Amino acid sequence: MDERQDLLDARGAGVVCFSPYSPGLNSIAHCWSNRLRALKPWMVKDFLEALVDAFATLTGLDIRSWFRYCGGQIAFT
């Protein structure tokens, strides 16, 4: 057995393996795909301007909601 596994077992801890990356479970992907798709940038210059516009519309509620939607657990103080 691996030394790391022995240390985890001794403390009653374990390892949870996540599936490979999935954009459907990524709150950031949801955030930007929705906002940028709505702005429809087709050229690099338009895309950069759309990023500025998209950043300007984010709220704390948006961020918390995306994390919650994707199953993330975050604490705001």
pTM of the model: 0.42
Q: Tokens 């519309």 appear where?
A: 57
User: Mind listing the pLDDT tens digit for each residue in 22-74?
Assistant: 666 566 676 677 777 777 778 888 888 888 887 888 888 887 777 777 676 66
The yes-or-no verdict on residue 75 having pLDDT over 80 is: no
Domains of the chain, by residue range, sit at: 22-77
Who's near 33: CB < 8 A, 6+ residues apart?
A: 23
16 sits in the region (left: phi over 0; alpha: psi -120 to 50; else beta) called beta
Distance from C-alpha of 49 to C-alpha of 42, rounded to nearest angstrom: 11
